[in-house]
């Protein structure tokens, strides 16, 4: 990708996000550098109290409470993130046409929360479906959160969701990049959203699988690579990026966070839940190849590791295989601070690392007290940030159930 | 229920749908939709809430009876007289 024309080079120019403990990138970055966990607990129907990442933000900053009530939690998060991203990018649609703007959101799932709530609602009316809400279908169609953004902003270009389990955030970012390169749109709002903490079923299913984190102190529950890790902490959250072609971004004097350098997605084609390192390493290699980079050119690897026994080991094996002789490659994990934001994970975690290009720090993986020898990678940054001379690239891993892998590589924007 | 009580129930349901609804200048003889931020889905919310509260089944062909505040009261008065 070294010889792309300006209009084929895609840059990231705005970030809007909501994470446990943060409502904008600067807050998020400050938490990550300070090693502050955003995890608390949730008391959920049928589940009792469990660790979870809950987001608190100005829900009525960009639309009325009435619209939040009618829509979904995912839609509410999405509308906030999209507006924040546009504001951050300085885009007010005077220079971009709303008809030439696309909205692409990654979702791990959608409709689970709304369906559970409705079943609970009719349980109070002897399961009489006359009491089932007419809002059910518009709330649960898969394009709902992206569609809520278009209604809020009057965007008339395409909008849809990309379903790719926990690789979905990256998948949407890749989709946005591709649509810009194809000339299908001039501006892409892309990212990922999670409202998963509203679903007892998602918690219960992870628990049944032996993959739901437990810890007396919720801020210590998410601990990828640690010997005492015992599963996933589920979080809600969202992150939306504005993506533009370099020529258009330059013409309007946009601030450029990073350039999309390469990406790849592939499938394990093996198992419903178990990750598969060899395919993950193929995915990383393919992304590197597309970016025209060697493994040693990667400054930061932001891992997907969720804190499950097998998942973390499998990813470490994959990284070890690709990055065997890379003394200047550093490895971190954002889930240790914010839990697993599912469809939002890939993009939120990428966002949390973007400031490395300006503050020259690698944020640490927290709660790493006793490194699992099977996760012992030489470059893991534990508990304290690491200063660097000049970070050049970030490789972001995101993998998901039913064997879907995604890798996105971004690089520091270089005028040349 | 008295006409006044029914009126208050309707306003309460609308307020629950949109807490920013302004009833100060509401003309009870003019369509609610022309005066408040309500659409067809909101009217279905009103119908659902009446069903939940009073087990009232309002047939679809009678939805137009709910157009104004006074028509709501007029239509609901006989149905809610024992509530």
The pLDDT of residue A1 is 52
Given the residues A166, A283, A316, A326, select the one marked as catalytic: A166
Give me the tens of pLDDT residue by residue for chain A, a chain 416 residues long. 557 898 899 999 999 999 999 999 999 999 999 999 999 999 999 999 999 999 999 999 999 999 999 999 999 999 999 999 999 999 999 999 999 999 999 999 999 999 999 999 999 999 999 999 999 999 999 999 999 999 999 999 999 999 999 999 999 999 999 999 999 999 999 999 999 999 999 999 999 999 999 999 999 999 999 999 999 999 999 999 999 999 999 999 999 999 999 999 999 999 999 999 999 999 999 999 999 999 999 999 999 999 999 999 999 999 999 999 999 999 999 999 999 999 999 999 999 999 999 999 999 999 999 999 999 999 999 999 999 998 999 999 999 999 999 999 999 998 76
C-alpha A18/C-alpha A195 separation (Å) is 11
Q: Answer whether A66 sits within 8 Å of B19, measured CB to CB.
A: yes
Strands A40-44 and A48-53: antiparallel
Say what the pLDDT of residue A376 is.
96
CA distance A18 to A326: 33
- Under a CB-based contact definition with an 8 Å cutoff, are residues A88 and A14 in contact? yes
Q: pTM surpassing 0.90?
A: yes
- Residue A150's nearest CA partner among A113, A198, A105, A195 is A105
- What whole-number distance in Å separates Cα of residue B32 and Cα of residue B49? 17
A-chain CB neighbours of B41 within 8 Å are: 70, 134-135
- Nearest by CB to B51, from A64, A65, A131: name it: A131
The answer to whether the Cβ–Cβ distance between B41 and A66 falls below 8 Å is no
- Pick the closest to residue A407 from A349, A352, A346, A357 (CA basis): A346
Are A65 and B17 a contacting pair at CB < 8 A? no
Superfamily of the domain at B1-78: ACP-like (1.10.1200.10)
Backbone angles phi, psi at B24, to 5 degrees: -50, -50
* Catalytic residue check, A166: yes
A interface with B, Cβ–Cβ < 8 A, is: 64-66, 69-70, 125, 130-131, 133-135
Counted across chains A and B, CB pairs separated by less than 8 A come out at 25
**Per-residue model confidence as pLDDT tens digits over B17-69:** 999 999 999 999 999 999 999 999 999 999 999 999 999 999 999 999 999 99
Put simply, the answer to whether A131 touches B41 (Cβ < 8 Å) is: no
Helix ranges (DSSP H) in A265-371: 277-291, 309-322, 335-338, 345-353, 356-359
Quick one: pLDDT at residue A414? 84
How many Å apart are CA B14 and CA A293, to the nearest integer?
A: 59
For B1-13, how does the pLDDT look when each residue is reduced to its tens digit (9 = 90+)? 999 999 999 999 9
Quote the minimal CA–CA distance from B18 to chain A in Å. 5
The radius of gyration of chain A from alpha carbons, rounded to an integer in Å, stands at 20
What local confidence, expressed as pLDDT, does residue A159 receive?
98
Of A66, A131, A134, the CB nearest to B52: A131
The residues on B that touch A, with CB distances below 8 Å, are 17-20, 37, 41, 44-45, 48, 51-52, 57
Cβ-defined contact of B19 to A65 (cutoff 8 Å)? yes
Query: What local confidence, expressed as pLDDT, does residue B83 receive?
Result: 87
Are A134 and B18 a contacting pair at CB < 8 A?
no
| ipTM confidence score | 0.93
Q: What is the DSSP string of A230-278?
A: --BPEE-EEEEEEEEEHHHHHHTT----EEEEEEEEEE--S-SS---HH
Element (H, E) at B54: helix B40-54
């Amino acid at each position: 990708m070294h010889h792309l024309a300006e209009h084929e080079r895609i840059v990231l120019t705005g970030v809007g996000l909501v994470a446990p403990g943060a409502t904008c990138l600067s807050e998020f970055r400050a938490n990550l550098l300070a090693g502050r966990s955003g995890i608390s607990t949730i008391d959920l129907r049928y589940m009792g109290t469990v660790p979870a990442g809950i987001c608190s933000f100005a829900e009525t900053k960009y639309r009325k409470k009435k619209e939040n009530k009618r829509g979904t939690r995912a839609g509410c998060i999405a509308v906030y993130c999209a507006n924040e991203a546009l504001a951050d990018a300085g885009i007010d649609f005077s220079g971009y046409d709303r008809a030439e703007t696309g909205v692409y959101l990654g979702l791990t799932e959608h409709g689970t929360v709304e369906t559970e709530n409705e079943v609970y609602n009719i349980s109070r009316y002897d399961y009489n479906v006359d009491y089932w809400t007419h809002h059910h279908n518009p709330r649960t169609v898969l394009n709902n959160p992206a569609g809520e953004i278009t209604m809020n902003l009057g965007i008339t270009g395409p909008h849809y969701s990309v379903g790719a389990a926990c690789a979905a955030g990256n998948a949407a970012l890749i989709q946005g990049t591709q649509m810009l390169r194809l000339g299908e749109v001039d501006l892409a709002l892309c990212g990922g959203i999670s409202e998963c903490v509203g679903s007892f079923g998602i918690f219960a299913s992870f628990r049944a699988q032996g993959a739901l984190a437990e810890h007396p102190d919720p801020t210590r529950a998410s601990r990828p690579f640690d010997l005492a890790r015992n599963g996933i902490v589920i979080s809600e959250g969202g992150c939306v990026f504005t993506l533009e072609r370099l020529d258009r971004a330059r013409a309007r004097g946009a601030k450029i966070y990073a350039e999309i350098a390469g990406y790849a997605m592939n499938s394990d084609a093996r198992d419903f839940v178990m990750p598969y390192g060899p395919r993950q390493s193929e995915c990383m290699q393919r992304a590197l190849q597309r970016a025209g980079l060697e493994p040693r050119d990667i400054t930061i690897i932001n891992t997907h590791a969720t804190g499950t026994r097998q998942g973390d080991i499998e990813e470490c094996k994959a990284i070890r295989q690709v990055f065997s002789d890379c003394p200047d490659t550093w490895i971190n994990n954002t889930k240790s601070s914010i839990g697993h934001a599912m469809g939002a994970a890939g993009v939120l975690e990428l966002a949390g690392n973007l400031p490395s290009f300006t503050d020259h720090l690698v944020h640490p993986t927290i709660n790493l007290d006793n490194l699992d020898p099977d996760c012992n990678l030489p470059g893991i940054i534990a508990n304290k940030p690491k200063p660097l001379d000049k970070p050049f690239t970030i490789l972001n891993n995101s993998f998901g159930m039913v064997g879907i892998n995604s890798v996105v590589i971004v690089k520091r924007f270089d005028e040349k | 229920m008295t006409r006044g009580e029914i009126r208050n129930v309707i306003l309460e349901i609308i307020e629950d749908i949109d807490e920013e609804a302004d009833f100060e200048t509401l003309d009870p003889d003019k369509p609610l939709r022309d005066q408040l931020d309500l659409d067809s889905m909101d009217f279905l919310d009103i119908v659902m809430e009446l069903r939940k509260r009073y087990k009232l089944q309002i047939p679809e062909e009678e939805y137009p009876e709910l157009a104004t505040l006074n028509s709501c009261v007029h239509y609901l008065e006989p149905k809610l007289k024992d509530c």
